[in-house]
Structure 1
Amino acid sequence: MQSWGELLEPSRLTAVVDIGANPIDGDPPYAPMLRAGLCTVVGFEPQPDALAKLHAAAGPNERYLPHAVGDGGEHELKVTWMGGMTSLFEPDVARLSALNEFARYGQVLSRVPVSTTRLDDVADLGPLDLLKIDVQGSELMIFQNGRRTLADAVAVHTEVSFVPLYEGQPMFHEVDAELRAQGFLPHAFAALKKWAIAPAVLDGDIFENHQQVIEADVAYVKDFGRLEELSREQLTHLALLAHHVYASPDLTVRCLVQLVADGHVDGEVVPAYGAAIGRSLTTNGVRSDV
């Protein structure tokens, strides 16, 4: 019996684009696919030190570019004490001071003029199935200037903010509205970041005993209630991403069922998937036991 991946017969590897690929937060969400040789990555990182690290560790399916992706205009990059807070936006000092240690993290060490490139204007980008993005406030700007490129994407993994850490920073509801307008729906909270409100320090630990929600990583996917509108290629890569990146067998199976209904793949793909995950799988009342 062929594996479910073999039955899918993808015409190419899943294509990931990573904007803000600085590896400061550990492995990206697509790392398992990359290690397994199941995806390609085109990454963007304008900070030279971070870009050099990415180049040094890059494998055969990775390509990294120095572009600062944005709205195509001229901006100023605020390089902060904590590299992960470097942004095109000005840190909100008053707001940061209300959170333990954040005022220090957001201290601006240098200001660097940068020319940004619209996502829709990036030459030789190639296909895009998953967009992973973490750019400290510039996400909305990039989505608004990448609508043509994102039209064929099936997933967006983005950081969203609930508390403004930068002046004029777009909040979660604005990013959510834009992605919904582009045909995406929230699928999963991949990470939720909470922090301690200053000045309380309990038991001598400034990072414990806190509940204030600051940011989250949210996975958006093309509307799973409208999968008939997606091409075979889109359905195939959404199924692969749902399984390998988000551990979402329900979304994977829905994509597989749609592929079968559209006549793209053999119906054996669904029981093959059930066998692969070692679970009893039922679709429309038909049980596929392992």
Structure 2
Amino acid sequence: MAYLAGALAPLRPLRIADVGANPIVASAYDALVRQGLAQVWGFEPHPVAAAALRDQAPENVKVIEQAIGAPGRAVFNAYPASEMSSLFKLSRRSIGYLGHFRRHLDSEEEVDVTLDSLDAVADVPMIDCLKVDAQGAELSVIEGARQKLVQAVAVVAEMRFYRLYDGEPEMHELDRALRGQGFVLHRFIAPKARMLGNSQAHRLNRRAVGSQLIDGDAVYIRNLEDRAAVSDEQLAHLALLADAMFGSRDLALWCLDELAARGALPGKVAAKYVDKLPAALKAEGAKA
């Protein structure tokens, strides 16, 4: 990452909006923030949680105490386990089938909130990357960020593979919305699966046997098929994100090759980048 940043300089810091920013310190973009390569606008609507985030956030991370979604009044279901809190209520039918999350049922506190679209937040400029983990509200966040995302090169959204909440959008709706804004699915990061409830559960290794996909982060990137439609700066930012946030070294190299083909970067940068990769990522016996 440090080599890429130097090779691509001068390059303005990445602009990242994070809806559902708790935690910030252990976030996927933490390395970029620590190296001063990214500015982050993180949204946390709960006053206590927002204050805690501000206390630990570095100076290039701005915590905004605001709820993002489809504009207007809404009811927020605040569960004691904050990671389960959502604009939607947990589905009794889904949980009955899965055999997990039962302890959260009927534990929510209903809180009236006012939602704003990301496009309506004047403090946030045009962004390069949107990260959103909103427990079912990802679709409304993305649909309300059309202007902020015009020049963005990536969206990282939690995608639900099996419904947990009543009324939450399905994965094909999220996929359609992102494709409609010019993004394509690139990869999944850390998909989570659970073991279905069964009579022999006490005899099984739950992590090894669990097969039912629940959710995971879906990485969407700007469609690169029309290379002329992507600027040098967009390619440079995507290369950094690919390396530091997605772990997609082949995508980083694709961007470096394209920049070299345009004369915007020396051709040797791609080879030097591979020189610095861990040995486990290189072909056996490969030479520079």
**SS in structure 2 opposite 1:141?**
helix
When normalised by structure 1's length, the TM-score is: 0.89
| CA deviations over 1:225-265 (Å, ceiling 9, x no partner) | 23331112211100101111122221111111222223322
Q: Corresponding residue for 1:133?
A: 132
Cα offset, 1:49, TM superposition: 2.7
After the TM superposition, which residues 41-190 of structure 1 pair with which residues of structure 2 at under 5 Å, given as runs?
Answer: 41-190=40-189
Extract unaligned runs of 5+ from structure 1. 283-287
In the comparison of the two structures, how many residue pairs are matched? 283
| Matched residue SS, 1:6 | helix
1:193 aligns with 2:175: no
Look up the SS of the partner of 2:49 in the other structure: helix
How many Å separate the matches in 1 of 2:259 and 2:80? 49
CA distance in 2: counterparts of 1:239 and 1:232, whole angstroms: 11
5+ unaligned residues in a row in structure 2: which ranges?
none
1:224 paired residue number: 224
Secondary structure of 2:108's match?
Answer: strand
Paired residues of 1:133 and 1:157 also in contact (CA < 8 A) = yes
Equivalent position of 1:285 in the other structure: none
User: What do residues 155-180 of structure 1 show as CA deviations (whole Å, max 9, x unaligned)?
Assistant: 11111112221111111111011111
Q: Which amino acid aligns with 1:264?
A: A
Cα deviation 1:111-135 (Å, max 9, x = unaligned): 1111101111111202411111100
Q: Deviations over 1:258-288 (max 9, x none)?
A: 2222332233322332333267999xxxxx9
Indicate yes or no: 2:258 matched with 1:258: yes
Moved over 6 A (4+): 278-282
> Within 2, Cα distance between the matches of 1:102 and 1:68?
25
Greater mean deviation of Cα atoms: 6-15 or 59-68: 6-15
Q: RMSD of aligned C-alpha atoms? A: 2.5
Q: TM-score by structure 2 length? A: 0.89
Displacement after TM superposition at 1:7 (Å): 2.6
Q: What secondary structure sits across from 1:33 in the alignment?
A: helix
CA distance, structure 1, for counterparts of residue 27 and residue 3 of structure 2 = 26
8 Å CA contact 1:97–1:198 kept in 2: the answer is no
Which one is further off, 99-108 or 115-124? 99-108
Shift of 1:190: 0.6
Which amino acid is 1:86 matched to? S
Secondary structure of the 1:235 match is: helix
Give the direction of change, closer, same or farther, for the CA distance of 1:242–1:194 in structure 2 (3 Å limit).
same
On the 8 A contact 1:100/1:206 being kept in 2, the answer is no
Q: Using the alignment, how far apart are the partners of 2:203 and 2:282 within structure 1? A: 50
Q: Structure 1 residues 126, 201: CA separation in 2 closer, same or farther (over 3 Å shift)? A: farther
Q: Is the 8 A contact 1:128 1:149 kept in 2?
A: yes
SS in 1 for 2:202: coil
Deviations 1:82-123 (A, max 9, x none): 211101112212222323341222434311111101111111
2-structure distance, mates of 1:227, 1:141: 29
Measured after TM superposition, the shift of residue 15 of structure 1 is 1.5
